[in-house]
Amino acid sequence: MNRTFVFRRHGIFGRWQQAECRGRRKEATTTYTNGDALDFGASTEGTGTVKTTTSSAPLDRNPTMNKIKLQTQQLAFQHPVTRNFDTQSHSPVHEALLRSGPRLRNLQQVHAHIIVSGLHRSRSLLTKLISLVCTAGSITYARRLFPTVPNPDSFLFDSLLKVTSKFGFSIDTVLFYRRMLFSGAPQSNYTFTSVIKACADLSALRLGKEIHSHVMVCGYGSDMYVQAALIALYAKASDMKVAKKVFDAMPQRTIIAWNSLISGYDQNGLPQESIGLFHLMMESGFQPDSATIVSLLSSCSQLGALDFGCWLHDYADGNGFDLNVVLGTSLINMYTRCGNVSKAREVFDSMKERNVVTWTAMISGYGMHGYVLSACAHSGLIDDGRRVFSSMKEAYGLVPGVEHNVCMVDMFGRAGLLNDAYQFIKKFIPKEPGPAVWTSMLGACRMHRNFDLGVKVAEHVLSVEPENPGHYVMLSNIYALAGRMDRVEMVRNMMTRRRLKKQVGYSTIEINRKTYLFSMGDKSHPQTNTIYRYLDELMCRCSESGYVPAPESLMHDLEEEERDYALRYHSEKLALAFGLLKTNQGETIRIVKNLRICEDCHSAIKHISIIADREIIVRDKFRFHHFKDGSCSCLDYW
DNA sequence: ATAGGGTTAG
């Protein structure tokens, strides 16, 4: 049977995408012949897709090997062969190997040199060659070289596992490990760090657990390197409980183990836990390094915790951490996502090296703050948008994904070009557009009060995703705006019947590096009375200056909070009142909301920015709102 | 004969 397995790693943290960035696009997809099953008798698991196609393995026609044969002949012709079996580091072949570095062209020549020198059975030279070839990005070359090595030993396997896992050829790591088991070469603690890392990159939990049992059997259960790798494995496979268990069982912890766990919490959407663990780490006498800082910056981004983020920036500066691409990009993300674009730009300008991630962070930062999209209502920019979209495919050969389609519909929708949005869906999205696209369309209908189209779209979305409470809320809002209260009631009943609950809305505000959380009608804060009294006072003054509360029909606005509560105790208003009380005149107020800001709050905060004479920045689920002197940076498009 | 590990950005 000629079956070939094609594995394609995807997901944002995928190593193979990184390989593409480094210009190793060719290797982003690798093929495996069917002799190499992935498992050890049990089935495998992973987030990647493993699909089977039928084709013959073209290994014999490998052009690289042909080239080598040719070069070997040429070399033999040009130079008289001097046989030298000396494999010390001074041998000319070995020297050449070290000199060539991870460059494929040079390595091919050295390979030829090895063969003509009769050293093709030297395990040490071949081990080094395979490692370098793999570092140069050619896994196919490495796979071809491996069978030519006589009696592969543990050292060879360890090197292979290390280099393949390091450069993202995770499946090869697993396959070579399997061969290692069959060959009888004993595993070392080095073996396991590489294999576990490969499993982590594949998010292969079951396979990882199997390896974990091998670790225990071989007696490396308390090796700190292996343990750190295991923590990262469980963290990447979203099993934080086991990750913590491994961590707790460590006889002596290392900064790497701390970092693994901290980043694990962060990447599993638990930024509070990640920061809490950091404090614990400091108390245990460990100093954060740049990896710690980077993970914590990401946690700050999630929380919108600017003060803590600034503290981390100062820490990195004060301890002479190098502002490399990773740290710089993390800082840019932290600053934009915590509401300070100009600081982000400062970091961006001071960076020595920038890559596509860095640029994307800066550009999307501007986008979130409305420096790009707020002007979308002008048709000139709509044309720009169209041009950019078509250039994606034509100039860059990129296939538009769901996110790009959503952006286009969103752009048309904001500008009120509902027809264009609809036409775009019909024309550019071949199959069923998917719920995200329709949701965007639905939002546009609501924003521009197009009831007929809105109802039609909502009903369609409901049929596609009957489990998503957001759609019901949106539909009921559209009915409410149209004054069809009977229909509103009907939709609400439908939700109750299907036992669907709306997402709970909350807002956070950071004061003196501490984050405070408010939910609607929240009375848990010790200073609740003061906060409510101050908020009442603020709202009165708003009304005096012309603020009109949103009509009753809007009380259950968007997908958030209970309508039974008065609008004035929405979480963002509570957080704002608290913030005004706790900060000094002239300080900017920053609030983060987990859902979209409601229309009533949006208009109230515009008034409050005048009354309290403050700049107020609210980050909602999608973008930033900068309130100043009675207007908002989103120009009421949101 | 042979070096060496685990953690970090969207």
- Nearest residue, CA→C1' of B5: A190
pLDDT at site A289: 96
> pLDDT tens digits, residue range A275-293?
999 999 999 999 999 999 9
To which H or E segment does residue A616 belong? strand A616-619
Count the neighbouring beta carbons within 10 Å of the beta carbon of residue A50. 13
- Nearest residue, CA→C1' of B3: A159
pLDDT at site A73: 37
pLDDT at site A351: 97
| Closest nucleotide to A259: CA versus each C1' | B7
* Chain B nucleotides reached by a protein CB under 7 Å: 1-10
| Closest nucleotide to A255: CA versus each C1' | B7
Total residues found in chain A within this entry: 638
| Closest nucleotide to A295: CA versus each C1' | B8
Residue with tokens 């982003």: A28
Q: Which of residues 130-159 of A touch strand B (CB under 7 A)?
A: 153, 155, 158-159
Rounded to whole angstroms, what are the CA distances from A574 to A558, A594, A601, A612? 19, 14, 11, 15
Angstrom distance, A624 CA to B9 C1': 21
Rounded to 5 degrees, φ, ψ at A607 are: -65, -40
Angstrom distance, A297 CA to B10 C1': 13
> Buried (b) or exposed (e) across A520-533, using 16+ Cβ within 10 A?
bbbeeeeeeeebbe
Which residues of chain A, if any, have pLDDT below 70? 1-90, 373-380, 551-567, 638
Count the neighbouring beta carbons within 10 Å of the beta carbon of residue A155. 14
Angstrom distance, A353 CA to B5 C1': 28
Asked whether residue A173, judged by its CB, lies under 7 Å from any atom of the DNA or RNA strand B, the reply is no
Asked whether residue A250, judged by its CB, lies under 7 Å from any atom of the DNA or RNA strand B, the reply is no
Residue with tokens 């009165």: A540
Asked whether residue A222, judged by its CB, lies under 7 Å from any atom of the DNA or RNA strand B, the reply is no
Asked whether residue A335, judged by its CB, lies under 7 Å from any atom of the DNA or RNA strand B, the reply is no
Asked whether residue A127, judged by its CB, lies under 7 Å from any atom of the DNA or RNA strand B, the reply is yes
Angstrom distance, A154 CA to B3 C1': 13
| Closest nucleotide to A250: CA versus each C1' | B6
Question: Are A638 and A596 spatial neighbours (Cβ–Cβ below 8 Å)?
Answer: yes
Question: Are A470 and A559 spatial neighbours (Cβ–Cβ below 8 Å)?
Answer: yes
pLDDT at site A580: 96
Q: Rounded to an integer, what distance in angstroms lies between the CA atom of residue A309 and that of residue A303?
A: 10
Q: Across all residues in chain A, what is the average pLDDT? A: 82
Decide: helix, strand or coil at residue A31: strand
> pLDDT tens digits, residue range A350-404?
999 999 999 999 999 998 888 785 445 455 688 888 888 999 989 999 988 888 8
Angstrom distance, A299 CA to B6 C1': 22
Q: Using a CB cutoff of 8 Å and minimum separation of 24, what contacts does A185-188 make? A: A185/A152, A185/A153, A185/A154, A185/A157, A186/A154, A187/A154, A187/A214, A187/A218, A188/A154, A188/A158
Q: Rounded to an integer, what distance in angstroms lies between the CA atom of residue A41 and that of residue A412?
A: 54
- Helix count (H) and strand count (E) of chain A? 29, 9
> pLDDT tens digits, residue range A488-540?
888 888 888 998 888 888 999 999 888 899 988 888 888 999 999 999 999 99
Decide: helix, strand or coil at residue A494: helix
Asked whether residue A12, judged by its CB, lies under 7 Å from any atom of the DNA or RNA strand B, the reply is yes
Taking the alpha carbons of A484, A486, A490, A493 in that order, is the dihedral positive or negative?
positive
pLDDT at site A379: 57
Helix axes A290-303 and A306-318, enclosed angle (nearest 10): 160
Q: Give, as one character, the DSSP assignment of residue A252.
A: S
Question: Are A265 and A244 spatial neighbours (Cβ–Cβ below 8 Å)?
Answer: no
Residue with tokens 């070069």: A71
Q: Both ends of chain A: CA-CA distance in Å?
A: 57
Going along chain A from its start, the domains and CATH numbers come out as 3-59 (no CATH), 253-368 (1.25.40.10), 382-497 (1.25.40.10), 506-632 (no CATH)
Asked whether residue A406, judged by its CB, lies under 7 Å from any atom of the DNA or RNA strand B, the reply is no
Angstrom distance, A309 CA to B3 C1': 38
Task: Work out the burial of residue A96: count CB atoms within 10 Å of its CB; fewer than 13 is exposed, 13-18 middle, 19 or more buried.
Answer: middle
Angstrom distance, A157 CA to B3 C1': 13
Asked whether residue A287, judged by its CB, lies under 7 Å from any atom of the DNA or RNA strand B, the reply is no
Angstrom distance, A277 CA to B6 C1': 19
Angstrom distance, A542 CA to B9 C1': 42
Q: Rounded to an integer, what distance in angstroms lies between the CA atom of residue A38 and that of residue A6?
A: 12
Q: Rounded to an integer, what distance in angstroms lies between the CA atom of residue A234 and that of residue A228?
A: 10
| Closest nucleotide to A266: CA versus each C1' | B8
Q: Rounded to an integer, what distance in angstroms lies between the CA atom of residue A304 and that of residue A510?
A: 8
Asked whether residue A326, judged by its CB, lies under 7 Å from any atom of the DNA or RNA strand B, the reply is yes
- Nearest residue, CA→C1' of B8: A291
| Closest nucleotide to A364: CA versus each C1' | B10
Asked whether residue A189, judged by its CB, lies under 7 Å from any atom of the DNA or RNA strand B, the reply is yes
Count the neighbouring beta carbons within 10 Å of the beta carbon of residue A423. 12
Residues 6+ apart with CB under 8 A from A160: A130, A131, A134, A142, A146, A173, A176
